Structure 1
Amino acid sequence: MQGTQTKASARVSIVMPTYNRAHFLKKTIESVLSQSWSGFDLLVRDDCSTDDTEKVVCGIQDHRIHYYRNAQRLKMPDNLNEGIRACDGDYILVCHDHDLYAPSMVAQMVEFLNTHPTALFVHCGIAMIKEDGIPTGRQYIGNYPLLAHGPSWLSFMLGRFDCPVCANSMVRRSAYEQHGLYDPAFGLLADVEMWMRLSLHGDVGYIPQPLIQVRAREQDHEYSGINWTVVDIVLRIQRLYHEHAFTGWYRWWRWMRLEARAERYVLAQYLVSICKKDRRAHEEGRRYLKNSGMLLSRIIAWGL
């Protein structure tokens, strides 16, 4: 696939992994089907849901929808990877099963990738909504270059512990073919590692508009609240790509800076768990700091 394809010829595959979100799924799928760009297929990957997911999806009559139910639970990102392997589009867009999508989102992303052949993926701004769909009033529209040089973008991502890229991004299929799919070692944060990996090999596109309404996760979601598995994965990804991104004395300086920031980061998470009287997060944090923290955090974990 070449980046010089015309807008009329580019084919889009949309992958929507889902698990037990039948109550959100109908509106989410309808927002995808309402796109001004109609040249796409929507592959819904049901990871053995126990609710009415299959009934909801099959009840929507549109030839672009393809429903597949796994024989056994794959979890993320394996379910997503299987969906990507089944795609035949030139561009592949991941859509979460509980978010809502502006009618122009696909068209704008396709136009961007058509116009910028060096970009391996394109992401956009977001607006937050509550579980019930009511807007929170919060939007995240970064002051980022429309086309960022890949290594510069990677350096930017390595300077922060949150991720400036929404997981609902459009990627060239050729990028997945050349640089691999999502790494299961990083669980639900595999997309963060993917954006860093692709930034090593190409440029990054950005559309500064809130084209996605991101719904707040359920309160009982496994990654909600203070989660030390997430903390550990964030730091593992950071350390991995500091090795790839920097060389010489500058790598040493960035590494020292990272470790100082990591120490502040884990201590802040730990102290928040204490202030919120979250016993589970507190106990898990104490174990984590005793095993993986630096000197100060280990001392505090033994004392608090």
Structure 2
Amino acid sequence: MSSKAISICILTYNRKNKLEKTIESVLRQKYTPDEIVINDDYSKDGTRKIGKKYEREYDIIRYERNSTNVGYAENNNKAIKRARGQYVGIVHDGDILKNNLVGEWVSKLERYDSVALVFQGYYGRGCPEGCTHGYPSRVDGERLVSEILSRWDCPIFGVVALRKKFVSNTGRFDSSYPWRADVDMWARLLNKYDAAYIDKPMIKYDEREEDHDLRGINWEAETNLIEMRKKNILELIGDKQTRQKLLKEFKKEKFVRIAKNIAICIKNGELEKALEGTKKLYYFLGE
């Protein structure tokens, strides 16, 4: 395998019915990846059978199964460690790649030496006609960090291409943020390096199942997001004036967001969740 090879790592957990369409979309790429690594986080639904089948049929496919369920952050870490390429594409089960995405990823990473990650426009997640952000081809990392830390959503989803060396220099996905480890990683990575952007929809994200943990209000995920954003403002924003401005906005927006989510829970008849949110509100008021 060449030093600039690209490994496509597919993260999967208990989604055997959606895994195959993702594998097939990677196999259809015009730019053939040097390897495809299926990273199974100890699924119990027959995912192993599918992974082993593809491993037997395609020389470029490896199936790797964690010995226990380690969660989203650590599965990312294991996938990157297993990848043999200098570039690593992170893909999730159920997502479908346009057939030129891998080639676009490699092109951006080879064009810009300062780039740590490449992201792109997408279909799905409430955007059936396709969504783009209008960023330039190369995006200043510090600019993106400030943007990420000044809003509750993140313009970069979990499907990206990474320069493995820069990830190693930055550190691991933080497993103390089980729900928002990717957002935390992007902020830390872009505090040191730049990003590249493909300004067109290149992937169709799978819609989350009705019982998915991040569908609806998840107070643990909300707590992760609040704690992560505050920590990174304090640690990553070097300019004192900018840091104070972001902290002031964050403090105000934090309570507004919690209050709005409590109202959503009440409207949906989820009174236990509303009570849980009220406890979170009082907890953060005491900070």
In the superposition, the TM-score normalised over structure 1's length comes to 0.88
Partner residue in 2 for 1:10: 4
The number of residue pairs the alignment matches comes to 283
Q: Which residue of 140, 164, 176 maps to 1:173? A: 164
Partner residue in 1 for 2:249: 257
Please give the alpha-carbon distance, in whole angstroms, between the structure 1 residues aligned to 2:33 and 2:221: 37
Query: 1:249 Cα shift?
Result: 3.3
Aligned to 1:68, the other structure's residue is in SS state: strand
- Cα deviations across residues 125-159 of structure 1 (Å, max 9, x unaligned)? 110079xxxxx624221022221111111111122
Amino acid at match of 2:58: D
Q: Which region of structure 1 is more displaced relative to structure 2, 75-84 or 89-98?
A: 75-84
Please give the alpha-carbon distance, in whole angstroms, between the structure 1 residues aligned to 2:271 and 2:129: 30
Aligned counterparts, 1:211-226, within 5 A: 211-226=202-217
Q: Is the 8 A contact 1:147 1:204 kept in 2?
A: yes
Please give the alpha-carbon distance, in whole angstroms, between the structure 2 residues aligned to 1:94 and 1:249: 35
Please give the alpha-carbon distance, in whole angstroms, between the structure 1 residues aligned to 2:194 and 2:242: 22
Instruction: Go from structure 1 to structure 2 and tell me whether the alpha carbon gap of 1:138 and 1:189 turns closer, same or farther (over 3 Å shift).
Output: farther
- Cα deviations across residues 200-226 of structure 1 (Å, max 9, x unaligned)? 101111101111100111111122210
Q: Is the 8 A contact 2:179 2:224 kept in 1?
A: no
Please give the alpha-carbon distance, in whole angstroms, between the structure 1 residues aligned to 2:272 and 2:34: 44
**Once superposed, what is the RMSD of the aligned Cα atoms?**
1.8
Amino acid at match of 1:181: R
Query: 1:98 Cα shift?
Result: 1.1
Q: Is the 8 A contact 1:12 1:91 kept in 2?
A: yes
Amino acid at match of 2:122: I
Aligned to 1:95, the other structure's residue is in SS state: strand
Please give the alpha-carbon distance, in whole angstroms, between the structure 2 residues aligned to 1:211 and 1:58: 28
Aligned to 1:184, the other structure's residue is in SS state: coil
Please give the alpha-carbon distance, in whole angstroms, between the structure 1 residues aligned to 2:11 and 2:231: 27
Aligned counterparts, 1:1-304, within 5 A: 10-60=4-54, 61-128=57-124, 137-243=128-234, 244-293=236-285
Q: Is the 8 A contact 1:45 1:69 kept in 2?
A: yes
Query: 1:18 Cα shift?
Result: 1.1
Instruction: Go from structure 1 to structure 2 and tell me whether the alpha carbon gap of 1:129 and 1:282 turns closer, same or farther (over 3 Å shift).
Output: closer
Partner residue in 2 for 1:298: none
- Cα deviations across residues 77-129 of structure 1 (Å, max 9, x unaligned)? 11221121111101011100111111100000100110111111110011007
Aligned to 2:93, the other structure's residue is in SS state: coil
Please give the alpha-carbon distance, in whole angstroms, between the structure 2 residues aligned to 1:225 and 1:17: 23
Aligned to 1:250, the other structure's residue is in SS state: helix
Amino acid at match of 1:252: Q
- Cα deviations across residues 179-205 of structure 1 (Å, max 9, x unaligned)? 112110111311101110011101111
Aligned to 1:223, the other structure's residue is in SS state: coil
Amino acid at match of 2:52: C
Please give the alpha-carbon distance, in whole angstroms, between the structure 1 residues aligned to 2:202 and 2:171: 27
Query: 1:52 Cα shift?
Result: 1.6
Aligned to 1:274, the other structure's residue is in SS state: helix
Query: 1:294 Cα shift?
Result: 6.5
Partner residue in 2 for 1:302: none
Q: Is the 8 A contact 1:263 1:294 kept in 2?
A: no
Shift >3 Å, 4+ stretches? none
Please give the alpha-carbon distance, in whole angstroms, between the structure 2 residues aligned to 1:129 and 1:38: 27
Q: Which region of structure 1 is more displaced relative to structure 2, 138-147 or 269-278?
A: 138-147
Amino acid at match of 2:271: R
Please give the alpha-carbon distance, in whole angstroms, between the structure 1 residues aligned to 2:271 and 2:277: 10
Q: Is the 8 A contact 2:120 2:201 kept in 1?
A: yes
Which sections of structure 1, spanning at least 5 residues, go unmatched?
1-7, 131-135, 296-304
Q: Is the 8 A contact 1:12 1:93 kept in 2?
A: yes
Which sections of structure 2, spanning at least 5 residues, go unmatched?
none
- Cα deviations across residues 217-242 of structure 1 (Å, max 9, x unaligned)? 11111222101111111111211121
- Cα deviations across residues 22-81 of structure 1 (Å, max 9, x unaligned)? 000111100011111113211112122111211222223111110122222212211221
Q: Which region of structure 1 is more displaced relative to structure 2, 268-277 or 138-147?
A: 138-147
